[in-house]
Structure 1
Amino acid sequence: MMDKTASDTNPVQVGIEDGIGLITLDSPPVNALGQAVRQGLLDAITKLDADDAVKVVAIHGAGRMLSAGADIREFGQTPQAPGLPDVLDAIEASATPVIAVIHGVAMGGGLELALAAHARVGMAGAVLGLPEVTLGLLPGAGGTQRLPRLAPLDAAIGIITSGRKLPVEEAAELGLVDRMSAADTPRAAALAAARDVLAGDLATRRTGEIAITPDPAVLEAARTRLAQKRPALAAPLKALEAIAQSGRPIAEGLKAERALFLELMESPDRQGLIHAFQAERAVKRIPESDAEPRPIETAGVIGGGTMGVGIATALLQAGIPVTLIEMSAEGAETARGRIAGNLDGAVKRGKLSEEARAARLEMLTAEVGLDHLAQVDLVIEAVFEDMKVKTQIFRDLDRICKPGAVLGTNTSYLDVNEIAAVTSRPQDVIGLHFFSPAHVMRLLEVVVADKTADDVVATAFALAGRMKKVAVRSGVCDGFIGNRILAHYRKAADYMLEDGASFAQIDRALEAFGFAMGPFAVGDLAGLDIGWATRKRKAPDRPEAERYVEIADRICEQGWFGRKTGRGYYLYDDPKRPVPNPEAEAIVAAERERAGITPRDFTDEEIVARYMTAMISEAARVVGEGIALRPVDVDAVFLFGYGFPRHLGGPLNHADRIGAEALIDRIEDYAKDDPHYWQVPDLLRELAQSGRTFADLNADPNRE
């Protein structure tokens, strides 16, 4: 019989059954190791270890998991005592054997808790990991000292320095888990394992007492590999430095680990990565949060091109039945085949089982004609960017769709107010800007038109959650948040190209800064014809004072659209190793001569400074105009949709590092040559005058 000595409301519950002490973490939803849980754990292990009636202690989690690790509410704060290292040291030092049941999730401090136990039992489906490096830190509660004592050194290095998640079965093979349990519940697994310890069928030992000698050759090879990564971040190298100390007595190794952990706490990488982590949660705070989402049980997608197929795939993966509409039966069948291919890819990546893939495909109907959408709860139009085509579709949807259906447009640039205005129900119309490939990319810009109803906005955010996407609220303007800013700073790259930098140098400089790809490589990947069409659309409204670079137009006129045509700025004879296109370089030289420009040299530092200043300038205008609710919304768009370096936290987080006054000085200096393009945003000047930062605006409740 369980003898509870703590209230059911306590985050850590303690009981004794037949000489077995049971410690249950019960702090929903993820059993985070906040101060109350840490104190409860310390009290529990102290109490049970002092009880002569208790012969073995078992720790498990209530609910879905052991523990997801640190309490995110403590991020950026000094944790209150007891610290997790002290709690785990007390667990390992216990004279009474302690076992941990790993179920659901054991991440970060949750895994470190298990490593401090004297034996570990795993349950099927559990996932383990030490993700601290993804936040600019290292495991600071013994992870770098205990994990290498249990797993082979090269495996331990890979797990710690990458932050990757590993299935419990792999953990068992590596020695992190002593045995797997087939028990029905974590509590049953805990009791069974404890009884095995008492019977002598499950051996226990203190992890810190395992003596190892880390191989210097393995450490050096890892150090070389990590140093060559771009961007070269501090956390993985510091983590490796800590791992190298695991051959010392555990107390000395833990002391070294702690010192390195505290060094990283002060690093700019850590600040940026924490900001990026928190951005995903911050963008959920919207003015429409209190509205009740409309139920979405079925959806329709119009268009079987790349975007429509990706959106349909994403909806199916979220468990939403989809009716896809194409212009012909052949087109509908082709789209169905491409969606099946996407689902096959999800199976290969381990995201879906074969059974789930078959079930998802059963939810798909591919048809011809909009009338098939009469009863769906949500429609997402995903045809090409043509206002006449889109408005005609929405006139038809207005007539066909049932009352209350949400009508979404996947436009990248066009005016959602104009699209909504052709319907008799503008309150039901919203922009849902997915990013390609839509079933992979996490960002979803939710574009709120003037008359969009609050519950439709709430529905879009709820839908994003079901699809495991990061939704960011945007107002209506040409390009919304991301593409509007992109259109501006992309000009800075074109100006530098025409003025003397090569497109390969610009790409290399920005990749070294931290972008996955430079702007010209990205253009080739996306298709140069897309930007060409946008430039032609906007040409009638281009100000006379704006400098216009025609290099990309000349390249497109040759029919070179990038990867899909085998050439653009680069040649793709070997898609894995593109090389600069000599004929594109010749076009650059000819356009410089036509424009009367004498090429000059650019340093990589100047390339990065101009590119980032242009990005920050337009981002500040987007926030100042209210298109984005807060600076963090811009940061999230670029982190999750545009490959912005995560360790920098986003363009406006990075702007705070540079400082408003320094940015203004740059802009005013650049404006000497081009006063039309380089203009100081009003918001940036306001920040400089007030001494405030973009971070201060994120904390301002009036901006929501």
Structure 2
Amino acid sequence: MAESTQVNDVISVGHDGDIALICIDNPPVNATGQAVRQGLEEAISSLNEDGSAKVIAIYCAGRTFVAGADIREFGKPPQPPSLSDVLDQIERSEIPVISIIHGTALGGGFELALSTHARVAIKGARIGLPEILLGLLPGAGGTQRLPRLAGIPWSLDVILSGRQVKAEEALEKGAVDRVTEGEPRAVALAAAQDVLDGKLATRRTAELKTEANQKALDDTLAMVTKKNPHLFSPGKCVEAIAASTLPLDEGMKVERACFIACMETPQRSGLIHAFFGERAVSNIPEAKGDTRPLAKVGVIGGGTMGSGITTSCLMAGIPVRLIEVAQDGLDRGVATITKNLDGAVSRGKMSSDKRDAALAMLEPSIAMEDLADVDLVIEAVFEKMEIKKEIFGKLDTICKEGAILASNTSYLDINKIADMTNRPQDVLGLHFFSPAHVMRLLEIVQGAKTAPDALATGFQLAKKLGKVGVLAQVCDGFIGNRILGHYGKVAAYIVQDGASPQQVDDALEAFGFAMGPHKVGDLAGLDIGYMTRQRKKEEGLDPDERYGGTLADKICEKGWYGRKTGKGYYLYETGAPIPNPEVETLLAETRAELGIEPKAMSDQDIVDRYMTAMISEAARVVEDGTAKRPVDVDMVFLFGYGFPRFRGGPLHYADTIGAAELVARIETYAKEDPHYWQVPELLRKMAADGRTFADLNKES
């Protein structure tokens, strides 16, 4: 066999008799960057011109087939040749071209495979078209070629979900032609030989006809419109897939128009910001230092949070010693954990064997002394400083040297907790969000004396648990709850001034939130906010301020805590929330007591005030260093507070409004309430300099 020749740095061509082997070697994931596109174009052209091969096989070096676009090209002017042009050239090749898929073939990588004349997947491979997760659609023929091979219904499922599909399912549906085992180059040679021997059929996908299925298109469009009424790209995906019944060149024109339309929406920018932001939050020096062992974790508290944290650790393969003060509480905790793991099995997240193995790693105990050998303790008890101080004082004498002591507090001062120990360097906050085994956010709170390796271990834990770890500094509520505490007041003010709780919820759900703030409060438990407001009053944290909790306090004093009591802002007797008519009576009393004459308020005004309040406190959080960068605030709200992902986060959204407009809004609102509405200095400076939060992210 002749040695391979390099077309460029990432593409080589080898020959074995009548077989030509094109190898893509563009680490780490063989992305379809300019050099790959250029090299493929030159290789296919050269092989067709010299006629030296009767079949061409494309395979990849390394751990995967082409796993998508080159993210380094995002936001930059496109460089020729376009992927679409290269794939058209591959499909038109006079010499049959086959692709050998191993690892993952995603986005442009799977579109590359679709343009070849046969696809062979190596066992364990996965395929997918995840562009919808970025507010886009497959733009290099994916919406046109996949339906020709696998039909409209399955193509709608794959493209609209963005999911990764196992090779066996792809084979069953016709998206690949064979599933086999072996090393990519050897499989490429064997499959190419089968083409020569007539054992593996090849054909141009463009020459296949998509079977029309208007019902599937109509049903899917209705479903996505109902499920995600705010999103633009799902409808465009359906429109493009519908065009696959046309000749390929005509369908490609529709796909291109739909792709460009998606590119021009703000949603695309927001979703790409979310994509990169998820990776950026851990790309900081604090997350990359030396770490400590995480072989065994201790969790104190078997309630909702402790059980969820334990479940998350067990699902990640980390043994847990669960501590409760009494046997009945421990039994309830174990039962909850078992139920959580059973739920994971029923949802297909884990096998029953893995569930059993996870439960075998759980060691329940009512003796805190059993934490003597764990590497990390996560305290998850009632949100009272006195209780937490007592626990950490005990842990200081029980836990081994170097063990990390973490509190799952939502608001409380980590430094005061650390002061109860002789090892403040080992103490940090790990603020999980409920349900802890589902929610992906983990605020990692750095105390004044937290050691660098303890902090880095917090990020390592987040990675092991599949969570988005965000660094936060100590303050009341850290990043998320501090901001929530501020904008939660404006929701109360809006209701006091004339809107109903339902109108506020409806307006914000129309903006893109999955649930409005009053439904969220009912779900979380209104007593939590009540206790926090009472604590802040006692500690003098809200001096001389219009008290926003008056209506909420009246509701709680009635014993209405939301879903768990069947009544809050809404009634839950029939399951779905129905506005609680008694809240209107309490609201009228509140307005009378405060001397407020209610006024009509538009949905847009509600959204503007709510979002401006959120952005204002978020700017202060960045200004005083509680959050390291604006993107950290955005990821906290995307992964912990239900902020609409397509809007990118509160500070990304702020850039779409502009600092100058935000300052003008705040100054207008301040005429009504100068204490609450104050322009953050950072925002005022940004308005003067014409800068954005995106600029601050680049500088950090």
Contact 2:533 2:549 in 1 (8 A): no
Amino acid at match of 2:604: E
Contact 2:490 2:548 in 1 (8 A): no
Deviates more, 1:162-171 or 1:670-679: 162-171
Distance 1:688 1:562 in 2: 41
Question: 1:368 maps to which residue?
Answer: 366
Cα distance change on mapping 1:362 and 1:10 into 2, 3 Å: farther
Question: 2:641 maps to which residue?
Answer: 642
Distance 1:501 1:664 in 2: 24
Encode CA deviations 1:249-303: one digit per residue, 9 max, x unaligned.
Answer: 2223223322332332222111111111111111113242452112211111111
Question: 2:331 maps to which residue?
Answer: 333
Encode CA deviations 1:675-694: one digit per residue, 9 max, x unaligned.
Answer: 11111111110101111111
Q: Secondary structure at the match of 1:100?
A: strand
Cα distance change on mapping 1:218 and 1:360 into 2, 3 Å: closer
Contact 2:287 2:459 in 1 (8 A): no
Please state if 1:39 is matched with 2:38: yes
Q: Which of 249, 257, 263 is the equivalent residue of 1:259? A: 257
Q: Secondary structure at the match of 1:288?
A: helix
Q: Secondary structure at the match of 1:246?
A: helix
Encode CA deviations 1:599-633: one digit per residue, 9 max, x unaligned.
Answer: 21111111101100010000001001110011111
Q: Which of 280, 287, 290 is the equivalent residue of 1:292? A: 290
Q: CA deviation at 1:10?
A: 4.1
Distance 2:167 2:509 in 1: 35
Deviates more, 1:408-417 or 1:280-289: 280-289
Q: CA deviation at 1:510?
A: 0.5
Cα distance change on mapping 1:180 and 1:673 into 2, 3 Å: same
Please state if 1:414 is matched with 2:393: no
Please state if 1:441 is matched with 2:444: no
Please state if 1:171 is matched with 2:170: yes
Question: 1:561 maps to which residue?
Answer: 561
Contact 2:496 2:590 in 1 (8 A): yes
Question: 2:493 maps to which residue?
Answer: 495
Aligned length in residues: 698
Give ranges in structure 2 of 5+ residues lacking alignment. Answer: none
Distance 1:147 1:255 in 2: 16
Distance 1:371 1:14 in 2: 64
Cα distance change on mapping 1:214 and 1:417 into 2, 3 Å: same
Distance 1:635 1:2 in 2: 54
Cα distance change on mapping 1:693 and 1:342 into 2, 3 Å: same
Q: CA deviation at 1:98?
A: 1.5
Cα distance change on mapping 1:231 and 1:621 into 2, 3 Å: farther
Amino acid at match of 1:568: G
Question: 2:450 maps to which residue?
Answer: 452
Encode CA deviations 1:657-699: one digit per residue, 9 max, x unaligned.
Answer: 1111111111111111111111111111010111111111011
Please state if 1:699 is matched with 2:695: no
Q: C-alpha root-mean-square deviation of aligned residues, in Å?
A: 1.9
Question: 2:652 maps to which residue?
Answer: 653
Distance 1:205 1:176 in 2: 13
Distance 2:228 2:258 in 1: 22
Q: Which of 312, 315, 332 is the equivalent residue of 2:313? A: 315
Q: Percent identity?
A: 59
Contact 1:286 1:473 in 2 (8 A): no
Q: CA deviation at 1:18?
A: 4.2
Amino acid at match of 1:561: Y
Contact 1:498 1:549 in 2 (8 A): no
Contact 1:230 1:512 in 2 (8 A): no
Please state if 1:528 is matched with 2:536: no
Deviates more, 1:398-407 or 1:47-56: 47-56
Cα distance change on mapping 1:526 and 1:196 into 2, 3 Å: same
Contact 1:3 1:17 in 2 (8 A): no
Distance 2:415 2:237 in 1: 51
Amino acid at match of 2:356: A
Cα distance change on mapping 1:322 and 1:225 into 2, 3 Å: closer
Contact 2:151 2:210 in 1 (8 A): no
Cα distance change on mapping 1:68 and 1:585 into 2, 3 Å: farther
| Aligned 1:336-347 pairs, distance under 5 A | 336-347=334-345
Question: 1:210 maps to which residue?
Answer: 208
Distance 1:23 1:680 in 2: 60
Q: Secondary structure at the match of 1:517?
A: coil
Contact 1:398 1:424 in 2 (8 A): yes
Distance 1:13 1:394 in 2: 61
Amino acid at match of 2:297: A
Amino acid at match of 1:407: L
Give ranges in structure 1 of 5+ residues lacking alignment. Answer: none
Please state if 1:28 is matched with 2:5: no
Q: Which of 464, 467, 476 is the equivalent residue of 1:466? A: 464
Q: Which of 477, 481, 486 is the equivalent residue of 2:484? A: 486
Q: CA deviation at 1:229?
A: 4.1
Distance 1:569 1:226 in 2: 29
The normalised TM-score by structure 2 is: 0.96
Question: 1:159 maps to which residue?
Answer: 158
Q: CA deviation at 1:213?
A: 5.7
Question: 1:201 maps to which residue?
Answer: 199
Deviates more, 1:593-602 or 1:381-390: 593-602
Q: Secondary structure at the match of 2:661?
A: helix
Q: Secondary structure at the match of 1:521?
A: helix
Distance 2:169 2:388 in 1: 50
Q: Secondary structure at the match of 2:5?
A: coil
Amino acid at match of 1:139: P
Contact 1:162 1:236 in 2 (8 A): no
Q: CA deviation at 1:224?
A: 3.8
Distance 2:345 2:46 in 1: 48
Distance 1:571 1:124 in 2: 52
Q: CA deviation at 1:81?
A: 2.1
Distance 1:383 1:293 in 2: 26
Q: CA deviation at 1:474?
A: 0.5
Distance 1:380 1:469 in 2: 16
Distance 1:18 1:349 in 2: 50
Question: 2:138 maps to which residue?
Answer: 139
Encode CA deviations 1:357-413: one digit per residue, 9 max, x unaligned.
Answer: 222222111112221111211111111111111111111111111111111111000
